[in-house]
Structure 1
Amino acid sequence: MGLRLNVIEIVVADMGRSLAFYRRLGLDVPAEEDKSPHVEFVLDGGMKLAWDTIETVRSFDPEWAPPAGSSRMGLAFECGSPAEVDRVHSELVAAGYESHKEPWDAFWGMRYAVIHDPDGNGIDLYATLS
């Protein structure tokens, strides 16, 4: 068997706060997971998005430290339309999340926006322009 990417993990400072953000993006993560040290959510297609608290990571890697500066990886969520990019971005900003890039029409033919999750990770929102 060859390698198969099937989990993307996010290390979080506050599980409940992080999961609240991802619920606003449309992931139906049960609220009872807010106090869990490790959470997995199966996305369409079978890929898993997982969250671990800093304490969980340090339980097996005591020297772990958050990266300094900008993150080196982001997640991108496809929206159903350019208007949905604007709506989701506006709703997240209104809920108190930090916008990194306001929605714009990118030269590569997509409506695009970037918002930060509670741990500073870049979350791209995009839709193909018609």
Structure 2
Amino acid sequence: MNTAPAPQLGFIGLVVSDLAASLAFYRRLGIEFPEGSEDQPHVEAALPGGLRLALDTEATVRSFYPSWRPPTGGGRVGLAFRCTGPEHVDAVYETLVTAGYHGELKPWDAFWGQRYATVHDPDGNGVDLFAPLANAAQ
């Protein structure tokens, strides 16, 4: 019987094609990366709850995995950001789309009781915005 503890999720890692563009996007969502991160091959930021978000350039990944290629056929990963309420979903979506990011799914009242929207980060990853609807129990 194995009595070793189970590993714990420590960070979410994204491979990005343009680090500065990705930093600008995720900073708009409130993630605080250190100043000067644009000049680094690997950067991390603390997230609530103890997780970290790590961004690596494609060149960094290829430095230790030369045959690596970006996945094809859609986004690489999906992230979801909880907003303070339905109006906040609408406001964040509008701010990102106005800044030039692709709005994949306009805010709508989902049947599962949330205001929900999806935008794409600079690499095409789906980034969902959500908040419970006032009449939903969550």
TM-score (norm 1): 0.97
Residue 20, structure 1, aligned to residue 24, structure 2: yes
- 1:72 is displaced (CA, Å) by 5.4
Residue 111, structure 1, aligned to residue 115, structure 2: yes
Specify which of 4, 10, 32 is matched with residue 8 of structure 2.
4
What 5-or-longer segments of structure 2 have no aligned partner? Answer: none
- 1:42 is displaced (CA, Å) by 1.0
1:37/1:72 Cα in 2 relative to 1: closer, same or farther (>3 Å)? closer
| Corresponding residue SS for 2:80 | strand
- 1:95 is displaced (CA, Å) by 0.3
User: Could you say what the CA RMSD is over the residues aligned between the two structures, in angstroms?
Assistant: 0.9
Q: Identify the residue that residue 92 of structure 1 maps to in structure 2.
A: 96
2-structure distance, mates of 1:81, 1:65: 38
Residue 29, structure 1, aligned to residue 33, structure 2: yes
TM-score (norm 2): 0.91
Q: Identify the residue that residue 51 of structure 1 maps to in structure 2.
A: 55
Task: Could you list the structure 1 runs, at least 4 aligned residues long, displaced by more than 3 angstroms after superposition.
Answer: none
1:96/1:39 Cα in 2 relative to 1: closer, same or farther (>3 Å)? same
Which one-letter code corresponds to 1:30 in the other structure? P
Q: Identify the residue that residue 120 of structure 1 maps to in structure 2.
A: 124
